[in-house]
Structure 1
Amino acid sequence: MANIKIVLADTDDKYLMPLERKFIDGLEDKADLIVITDPDYLKEYFSEPQRVDILIINEELYDAELERHNIASVFILTEQELLNNNTGDAEANRIYKYTSVKEIYAEIIGKSSARSETLNTKEETKILMMYSPIGGIGKTTVSAALCEALAKYQKKVLLIGIDSLQTIGSVIPQLPFMESGTEKLLIEKSEYVYEAVKTKIINRTFDLLPPFHLSLPSLNIKGEDYINLINGIRDSKDYDYVIVDGATGFTEDLSRLMGVADHTIILAGQDKNAVYKLDCLLRNIDCSDNDRFVFVCNKYRNNRENFLANGYMTNFCRVSEYIELWTENSASEEGVLTNNRSIQKLALMFI
């Protein structure tokens, strides 16, 4: 299979160096990378017909004449932050130049992979568990927002809620309940359970397993049933990510689900009571692996005391991201946070 051809064009060679390194590290021998910093050489290079898979170019260097060439995807680096990526050209996307290298790379590869078999290689499914010992911290909302953020990077994502009372409908309105009888498929623990359940999955911006109308205990559904399902999904490689919206509290089932997850995101609060509950959790599990356990403070208010940053707590958990308290107006019509920088940064931790 032929390598993809990527052209990086910007007069600032120091700016291009880390971006070039990211493409080299990320794509290894799958791509032929051409870096152009001289405007005259850029004109000379495109003076003859060129076939380019990905062109990443500073807006000051971009010329409509480039459209005459066979360029599959164009990404324009702009000095101005944009509210959207629309350029008027269906084949071009604008990217804020001073976004992180990792974010630029993720957006470019995500949007280009659908066009290129070379880039569209199937990797292992990552299982992300969202958990909190604190009720009302926004666990389900952040789970859905994370799914949406990953989907914007062209990732295929499935959301599974395992709360005893399935309340995902409060975040995603007009969501139908799971078809009656599906619980029997789960508790049979068949190795083909995913094949049996996948027809029930609903597609929105991301995919999700509909909530059960009754509580899980009343349906005799246990954590081990979800573990069996998750393992089946992982084996299928149908999804890039499975986000598991975990239950509040701490049980043996939840502990086992954390063991299955590649990463567990622990939502914390900044107030004294929330930090006390987090401390109780940390006395029962070892969260010292900073790659496997990621701490996020949700509903953060910078005008209030942050007990997470006080005293001995900083020795036991390193908060990777603070998500500021949102209002209803900052959520999409489906009720999840969109275009939130903290959510986007959280998504990038796992890409």
Structure 2
Amino acid sequence: MENRKCHIVIIDQDYNYLRTYEEELIRKYSVSAEIQIITDPGYVDAYFSTAQDIDLLIIDEDSYGDGEFLREHTVGKIFLMVREIRSDLTCHDEVKVLLKYMPAEELFEQVDRVLLRVDTPASGLVEKNKKNTRVVGVYSPIGGCGKSLVCVALARKLKMLDQKVLLLACDPTQSMSVYYPSDVHAGEELAEKLKNPDDDTYWTILQNIGRDEVSYLLPFEKSLPSMNITHREIEALIRTLINKQDFDFIILDIGTTLSHEISQDLNKINSLILLTETNVIANKKMQKLLHDPDLLPKCDCILVANEMHSDGMRLSRDSIFGTIAPYQHWEEALDDPVFYRIALKVTE
């Protein structure tokens, strides 16, 4: 079947009403949807005289009537716009009753939910720009060695390579958020959706993504353990993002804790950046990790050394992918050449 855009049809005899939505509607959805607006009652009959395949029909109650004229057509979802909600109004499952004069942003929120669900070939919606989503984890048994900085720096370089990236902090305190440009937090509704997923879970995820130079999932105000968010919820979140294929890369700040349960989840990632430091203490911690190799995921492993806290120790150039030079300010470290090399490596 030939791919096509999602088909949205809007029918309302009150053009003055439609004018309040029309400009924003077209600006917001014209890239992802074919939008058809009908205000002439006579044209409604002519339009439905031939078989129609519609993903979303937004229609006023006068034009809808009893809806019998739609039986011969394929309509995925119907928004029936009414002046007031009546207790005696009964509709089929595919019909959602909405107040006609609801705020525009609330109507668009409902449209967004439909478009997120209509994403299979059978629906006729083109799977536009679907990504082969790859996951890169950043881990170290060493606290304070720059894992979060590596995540942010790598995301910036991947964006320079025209990759769509999402940053995701998985450690208990979501420490990567200190590098985010705002103090906005994820809503508690997201936590509930991760624990009890439903059809709206992905929509809720998208509503909790911050967008700056690169995109990032908003951190919770509380720690993950205090909200009863475990590795199971994080794994389900990552799986959902991979399945939706809206990002080229998801970059995980794994933190310093690596249990066998978390390790099993990490076996699904594509690449692991293992971060160490050039000092004796860090080397001892790394050696302890290497004594339990089953903890490390079975994927491409990129060993990088941060020289910020160096005590003069030198690592064999054959054993590491590259080093991060010491910088006076963390903003300068974001442009270290090693991050561009890593970006090229993970995009191979």
Whether TM exceeds 0.5 here: the answer is yes
Percent of residue pairs identical: 25
The alpha-carbon distance between structure 1 residues 261 and 290, as it changes in their structure 2 partners (threshold 3 A), is: closer
String of CA shifts for 1:62-113, please: whole Å, max 9, x gaps: xxxxxxxxxxxxxxxxxxxxxxxxxxxxxxxxxxxxxxxxxxxxxxxxxxxx
SS of the residue aligned with 1:232?
Answer: helix
Structure-to-structure mapping, 1:178-189, within 5 angstroms: 178-189=186-197
Please state how far the C-alpha of 1:164 moved relative to its aligned partner: 0.4
Counterpart in 2 of 1:342? 338
Structure-to-structure mapping, 1:234-249, within 5 angstroms: 234-249=242-257
Distance in 1, Cα, partners of 2:290 & 2:302: 13
Query: Unmatched 5+ residue regions in structure 1?
Result: 1-119
Counterpart in 1 of 2:325? 324
Counterpart in 2 of 1:39? none
Matched, 1:200 2:196: no
Distance in 1, Cα, partners of 2:147 & 2:192: 27
String of CA shifts for 1:197-219, please: whole Å, max 9, x gaps: 11111111111001111111110
TM-score, scaled relative to structure 1: 0.57
The alpha-carbon distance between structure 1 residues 133 and 189, as it changes in their structure 2 partners (threshold 3 A), is: farther
Counterpart in 2 of 1:94? none
Counterpart in 2 of 1:228? 236
Runs of 4+ in 1 over 6 A off after TM superposition: 287-290
SS of the residue aligned with 1:268?
Answer: strand
Matched, 1:165 2:173: yes
Larger radius of gyration: 2
The alpha-carbon distance between structure 1 residues 254 and 289, as it changes in their structure 2 partners (threshold 3 A), is: closer
TM-score, scaled relative to structure 2: 0.58
Q: What count of residue pairs does the alignment treat as equivalent?
A: 220
Amino acid at match of 1:343: F
Matched, 1:272 2:280: yes
The alpha-carbon distance between structure 1 residues 288 and 229, as it changes in their structure 2 partners (threshold 3 A), is: closer
Amino acid at match of 1:283: H
The alpha-carbon distance between structure 1 residues 283 and 190, as it changes in their structure 2 partners (threshold 3 A), is: farther
Query: Unmatched 5+ residue regions in structure 2?
Result: 1-127
Report if the CA contact (8 A) 2:136-2:252 is conserved. Answer: yes
Counterpart in 2 of 1:128? 136
Report if the CA contact (8 A) 2:170-2:255 is conserved. Answer: yes
Counterpart in 1 of 2:154? 146
Distance in 2, Cα, partners of 1:172 & 1:209: 10
Distance in 2, Cα, partners of 1:191 & 1:202: 22
The alpha-carbon distance between structure 1 residues 319 and 136, as it changes in their structure 2 partners (threshold 3 A), is: same
Structure-to-structure mapping, 1:286-305, within 5 angstroms: 286=294, 292-299=300-307, 304-305=312-313
Report if the CA contact (8 A) 1:191-1:228 is conserved. Answer: no
Matched, 1:309 2:316: yes
Structure-to-structure mapping, 1:34-183, within 5 angstroms: 122-183=130-191
